[in-house]
A and B are shown apart, each in its own frame.
Chain A
Amino acid sequence: MTLTARVVSGNEVRVPDPQAGEVTVISRYGKERAMLIHPDDFHRLDELDRMLAEAAGLTPLKPSPEALSAHLEEGAPGEPITDPAVLAELFG
Protein backbone atom coordinates (compact mmCIF):
# COMPACT_ATOMS: atom_id res chain seq x y z
CA MET A 1 0.00 0.00 0.00
CA THR A 2 1.50 3.32 -1.03
CA LEU A 3 1.76 5.78 1.85
CA THR A 4 -0.27 8.97 1.72
CA ALA A 5 1.23 12.03 3.40
CA ARG A 6 -1.15 14.23 5.41
CA VAL A 7 0.36 17.64 6.17
CA VAL A 8 -0.35 19.19 9.58
CA SER A 9 1.05 22.60 10.49
CA GLY A 10 3.79 22.59 13.15
CA ASN A 11 1.73 25.15 15.07
CA GLU A 12 -1.09 22.65 15.62
CA VAL A 13 0.88 19.86 17.30
CA ARG A 14 3.80 19.50 19.67
CA VAL A 15 6.19 16.76 18.64
CA PRO A 16 9.75 15.98 19.66
CA ASP A 17 12.43 16.80 17.09
CA PRO A 18 12.86 13.77 14.85
CA GLN A 19 16.41 12.56 14.23
CA ALA A 20 17.45 10.80 11.04
CA GLY A 21 17.67 7.06 11.54
CA GLU A 22 15.58 7.17 14.71
CA VAL A 23 11.93 6.34 15.30
CA THR A 24 10.09 7.96 18.20
CA VAL A 25 7.33 5.60 19.29
CA ILE A 26 4.37 7.33 20.92
CA SER A 27 2.61 4.80 23.10
CA ARG A 28 -0.60 4.80 25.02
CA TYR A 29 -1.69 2.20 27.55
CA GLY A 30 1.37 0.17 26.55
CA LYS A 31 0.38 0.03 22.88
CA GLU A 32 2.06 1.66 19.87
CA ARG A 33 -0.14 4.60 18.92
CA ALA A 34 2.01 6.56 16.48
CA MET A 35 5.56 6.72 15.23
CA LEU A 36 7.55 9.80 14.43
CA ILE A 37 10.33 9.58 11.88
CA HIS A 38 12.63 12.05 10.17
CA PRO A 39 11.47 13.28 6.72
CA ASP A 40 14.57 11.73 5.08
CA ASP A 41 13.63 8.33 6.51
CA PHE A 42 10.01 8.72 5.44
CA HIS A 43 11.01 9.57 1.86
CA ARG A 44 13.49 6.68 1.78
CA LEU A 45 10.83 4.21 2.99
CA ASP A 46 8.27 5.65 0.59
CA GLU A 47 10.72 5.29 -2.29
CA LEU A 48 11.51 1.70 -1.26
CA ASP A 49 7.80 0.95 -1.12
CA ARG A 50 7.32 2.33 -4.63
CA MET A 51 10.29 0.40 -5.97
CA LEU A 52 9.05 -2.84 -4.42
CA ALA A 53 5.56 -2.26 -5.85
CA GLU A 54 7.11 -1.70 -9.28
CA ALA A 55 9.24 -4.83 -8.98
CA ALA A 56 6.21 -6.87 -7.88
CA GLY A 57 4.07 -5.74 -10.81
CA LEU A 58 3.82 -8.29 -13.62
CA THR A 59 4.91 -7.37 -17.12
CA PRO A 60 1.91 -7.99 -19.34
CA LEU A 61 2.28 -10.62 -22.06
CA LYS A 62 0.94 -9.99 -25.54
CA PRO A 63 -0.42 -13.05 -27.34
CA SER A 64 1.01 -13.71 -30.80
CA PRO A 65 -1.30 -13.50 -33.85
CA GLU A 66 -1.22 -17.32 -33.94
CA ALA A 67 -2.36 -17.52 -30.29
CA LEU A 68 -5.09 -14.96 -30.94
CA SER A 69 -6.43 -16.90 -33.87
CA ALA A 70 -6.26 -20.15 -31.83
CA HIS A 71 -8.25 -18.42 -29.07
CA LEU A 72 -10.89 -17.19 -31.51
CA GLU A 73 -11.22 -20.36 -33.55
CA GLU A 74 -11.30 -22.75 -30.58
CA GLY A 75 -13.75 -20.44 -28.81
CA ALA A 76 -16.22 -20.28 -31.72
CA PRO A 77 -18.80 -23.04 -32.09
CA GLY A 78 -18.90 -25.07 -35.29
CA GLU A 79 -21.91 -26.94 -36.65
CA PRO A 80 -23.72 -28.68 -33.76
CA ILE A 81 -25.24 -32.11 -34.26
CA THR A 82 -28.99 -31.66 -34.16
CA ASP A 83 -30.23 -34.55 -36.29
CA PRO A 84 -32.52 -36.60 -33.98
CA ALA A 85 -31.55 -39.85 -35.72
CA VAL A 86 -27.84 -39.21 -35.20
CA LEU A 87 -28.49 -38.14 -31.59
CA ALA A 88 -30.55 -41.28 -30.94
CA GLU A 89 -27.71 -43.37 -32.33
CA LEU A 90 -25.17 -41.56 -30.14
CA PHE A 91 -27.08 -41.39 -26.87
CA GLY A 92 -29.69 -44.13 -27.21
Chain B
Amino acid sequence: MQPPLGHCYWALAPFAPAPPFRIYQEAAAPRSVDSVEPFTEAARKGASEFALLTPVKARPVLVITEVLPEHEEVLALRLRRLEKLASDAERERVREGSDPGLFHLKPDRFPDLPVENAAIVSSLLRLPAAALDRRASLGALDDNELRALHERIARIHRLRLDMLVLERAQALVQRAQRKR
Protein backbone atom coordinates (compact mmCIF):
# COMPACT_ATOMS: atom_id res chain seq x y z
CA MET B 1 0.00 0.00 0.00
CA GLN B 2 1.42 3.41 -0.98
CA PRO B 3 2.19 6.02 1.71
CA PRO B 4 -0.86 8.29 1.97
CA LEU B 5 1.03 11.60 2.27
CA GLY B 6 -0.31 14.12 -0.25
CA HIS B 7 -3.02 11.79 -1.54
CA CYS B 8 -6.76 12.22 -1.58
CA TYR B 9 -8.90 9.33 -0.37
CA TRP B 10 -12.48 8.69 0.52
CA ALA B 11 -12.65 8.68 4.30
CA LEU B 12 -15.06 8.58 7.18
CA ALA B 13 -14.59 12.01 8.73
CA PRO B 14 -16.25 13.10 11.98
CA PHE B 15 -17.67 16.53 12.65
CA ALA B 16 -16.43 18.12 15.86
CA PRO B 17 -18.92 17.44 18.67
CA ALA B 18 -20.84 20.61 19.52
CA PRO B 19 -23.75 21.42 21.84
CA PRO B 20 -26.28 20.02 22.30
CA PHE B 21 -24.19 16.92 23.03
CA ARG B 22 -26.10 13.66 22.64
CA ILE B 23 -24.93 10.90 24.97
CA TYR B 24 -25.59 7.32 23.96
CA GLN B 25 -27.49 5.42 26.67
CA GLU B 26 -27.94 1.64 26.76
CA ALA B 27 -31.48 0.62 25.88
CA ALA B 28 -32.74 4.20 25.96
CA ALA B 29 -33.04 7.24 23.77
CA PRO B 30 -29.94 9.49 23.69
CA ARG B 31 -29.64 12.00 26.52
CA SER B 32 -29.15 15.59 25.42
CA VAL B 33 -26.74 17.87 27.33
CA ASP B 34 -26.74 21.54 26.34
CA SER B 35 -23.25 22.60 27.37
CA VAL B 36 -19.80 21.35 28.35
CA GLU B 37 -20.04 22.29 32.05
CA PRO B 38 -22.07 19.24 33.20
CA PHE B 39 -19.32 17.05 31.68
CA THR B 40 -16.58 18.83 33.63
CA GLU B 41 -18.67 18.58 36.81
CA ALA B 42 -19.06 14.84 36.17
CA ALA B 43 -15.31 14.52 35.54
CA ARG B 44 -14.62 16.11 38.95
CA LYS B 45 -16.74 13.31 40.42
CA GLY B 46 -14.57 10.74 38.61
CA ALA B 47 -16.85 10.05 35.62
CA SER B 48 -15.12 11.42 32.57
CA GLU B 49 -15.78 9.13 29.61
CA PHE B 50 -19.00 8.90 27.64
CA ALA B 51 -20.15 7.74 24.22
CA LEU B 52 -21.40 10.69 22.20
CA LEU B 53 -23.46 10.40 19.08
CA THR B 54 -21.15 12.23 16.69
CA PRO B 55 -22.17 12.86 13.08
CA VAL B 56 -19.76 11.59 10.46
CA LYS B 57 -19.59 12.04 6.71
CA ALA B 58 -18.09 9.82 4.04
CA ARG B 59 -16.11 12.33 1.99
CA PRO B 60 -12.85 12.76 0.12
CA VAL B 61 -10.04 14.23 2.26
CA LEU B 62 -6.50 15.30 1.47
CA VAL B 63 -3.92 13.57 3.69
CA ILE B 64 -1.10 15.94 4.65
CA THR B 65 1.09 13.72 6.86
CA GLU B 66 2.53 10.23 6.80
CA VAL B 67 0.81 7.71 9.05
CA LEU B 68 2.27 8.36 12.50
CA PRO B 69 3.45 4.83 13.34
CA GLU B 70 3.03 5.26 17.09
CA HIS B 71 -0.65 6.13 16.71
CA GLU B 72 -1.68 4.91 13.24
CA GLU B 73 -3.15 8.34 12.57
CA VAL B 74 -2.88 11.03 9.91
CA LEU B 75 -3.75 14.69 9.61
CA ALA B 76 -6.03 15.55 6.71
CA LEU B 77 -7.99 18.47 5.27
CA ARG B 78 -11.61 18.69 4.17
CA LEU B 79 -12.32 19.72 0.61
CA ARG B 80 -14.57 22.36 -0.93
CA ARG B 81 -16.09 21.92 -4.37
CA LEU B 82 -15.23 24.88 -6.55
CA GLU B 83 -18.78 24.91 -7.88
CA LYS B 84 -19.92 25.87 -4.36
CA LEU B 85 -17.84 29.07 -4.34
CA ALA B 86 -19.73 32.34 -4.69
CA SER B 87 -18.50 33.52 -8.07
CA ASP B 88 -16.37 32.79 -11.13
CA ALA B 89 -13.96 35.46 -9.90
CA GLU B 90 -13.47 33.57 -6.62
CA ARG B 91 -13.00 30.27 -8.47
CA GLU B 92 -10.31 31.96 -10.57
CA ARG B 93 -8.62 33.36 -7.44
CA VAL B 94 -8.46 29.84 -6.00
CA ARG B 95 -7.07 28.38 -9.25
CA GLU B 96 -4.39 31.10 -9.31
CA GLY B 97 -3.45 30.32 -5.68
CA SER B 98 -4.50 33.81 -4.56
CA ASP B 99 -6.91 32.67 -1.82
CA PRO B 100 -4.68 31.65 1.12
CA GLY B 101 -7.44 29.62 2.80
CA LEU B 102 -8.33 27.41 -0.18
CA PHE B 103 -5.62 25.29 -1.83
CA HIS B 104 -6.50 24.36 -5.40
CA LEU B 105 -6.34 20.68 -6.36
CA LYS B 106 -5.53 20.67 -10.07
CA PRO B 107 -7.97 18.36 -11.88
CA ASP B 108 -5.18 16.74 -13.90
CA ARG B 109 -3.46 15.69 -10.68
CA PHE B 110 -6.73 14.53 -9.07
CA PRO B 111 -8.41 12.69 -11.94
CA ASP B 112 -10.58 10.53 -9.69
CA LEU B 113 -12.20 13.36 -7.76
CA PRO B 114 -15.67 13.70 -9.28
CA VAL B 115 -15.39 17.52 -9.59
CA GLU B 116 -12.80 20.29 -9.19
CA ASN B 117 -11.96 20.91 -5.52
CA ALA B 118 -9.84 22.97 -3.17
CA ALA B 119 -8.51 21.85 0.22
CA ILE B 120 -9.69 24.04 3.10
CA VAL B 121 -6.38 25.02 4.70
CA SER B 122 -7.88 25.71 8.14
CA SER B 123 -9.87 22.45 8.37
CA LEU B 124 -7.32 20.14 10.01
CA LEU B 125 -8.72 16.72 10.90
CA ARG B 126 -7.00 13.99 12.87
CA LEU B 127 -8.08 10.63 11.48
CA PRO B 128 -7.19 7.04 12.29
CA ALA B 129 -5.52 5.47 9.24
CA ALA B 130 -8.31 2.90 9.34
CA ALA B 131 -10.82 5.66 8.57
CA LEU B 132 -9.24 6.10 5.11
CA ASP B 133 -10.38 3.96 2.21
CA ARG B 134 -6.93 3.38 0.74
CA ARG B 135 -8.02 0.95 -1.93
CA ALA B 136 -7.68 3.76 -4.46
CA SER B 137 -6.04 7.20 -4.40
CA LEU B 138 -8.15 9.92 -6.01
CA GLY B 139 -4.99 11.84 -6.95
CA ALA B 140 -1.99 13.40 -5.24
CA LEU B 141 -0.06 16.64 -4.81
CA ASP B 142 3.54 16.84 -5.99
CA ASP B 143 6.36 17.69 -3.54
CA ASN B 144 6.31 21.41 -4.31
CA GLU B 145 2.55 21.68 -3.86
CA LEU B 146 2.77 19.77 -0.58
CA ARG B 147 5.53 22.08 0.67
CA ALA B 148 3.48 25.17 -0.26
CA LEU B 149 0.41 23.70 1.47
CA HIS B 150 2.37 22.91 4.66
CA GLU B 151 3.62 26.49 4.74
CA ARG B 152 0.08 27.81 4.40
CA ILE B 153 -1.16 25.49 7.17
CA ALA B 154 1.59 26.72 9.50
CA ARG B 155 0.84 30.36 8.70
CA ILE B 156 -2.94 30.15 8.86
CA HIS B 157 -2.76 28.36 12.24
CA ARG B 158 -0.05 30.81 13.39
CA LEU B 159 2.25 27.92 14.38
CA ARG B 160 5.44 29.09 16.11
CA LEU B 161 8.18 27.47 14.05
CA ASP B 162 10.79 30.19 14.58
CA MET B 163 12.87 28.14 17.03
CA LEU B 164 12.94 25.28 14.56
CA VAL B 165 14.19 27.59 11.81
CA LEU B 166 16.69 29.19 14.19
CA GLU B 167 18.11 25.88 15.36
CA ARG B 168 18.46 24.77 11.76
CA ALA B 169 20.20 28.05 10.86
CA GLN B 170 22.53 27.70 13.85
CA ALA B 171 23.39 24.12 12.86
CA LEU B 172 24.20 25.31 9.33
CA VAL B 173 26.43 28.09 10.72
CA GLN B 174 28.26 25.60 12.96
CA ARG B 175 28.76 23.25 10.02
CA ALA B 176 30.14 26.09 7.91
CA GLN B 177 32.51 27.09 10.74
CA ARG B 178 33.81 23.52 11.11
CA LYS B 179 34.66 23.46 7.39
CA ARG B 180 36.97 26.50 7.73
Contact = CB atoms under 8 A, between A and B. Distances in A.
Q: Is the interface of B mostly helix, strand, loop or mixed?
A: mixed
Interface of B: 15-16, 55, 57, 78-80, 84-86, 90, 93, 99-102, 118, 120-123, 151-152, 154-156, 158-163, 165-166, 169
B51 to A, nearest CB: 16
A60 to B, nearest CB: 5
A64 interface: yes
A3 B97 CA distance: 39
B16 A70 contact: no
Interface of A: 1, 52-53, 56-64, 66-68, 70-71, 73-78, 80
A75 B162 contact: no
Contacts, number: 83
A31 to B, nearest CB: 18
Contacts of A78: 57
B120 A70 contact: yes
Contact of A62 (B55, B100, B118, B166): B100
Contacts of B156: 60-61, 63
A88 B5 CA distance: 34
Nearest to A63: B101
B162 A53 contact: yes
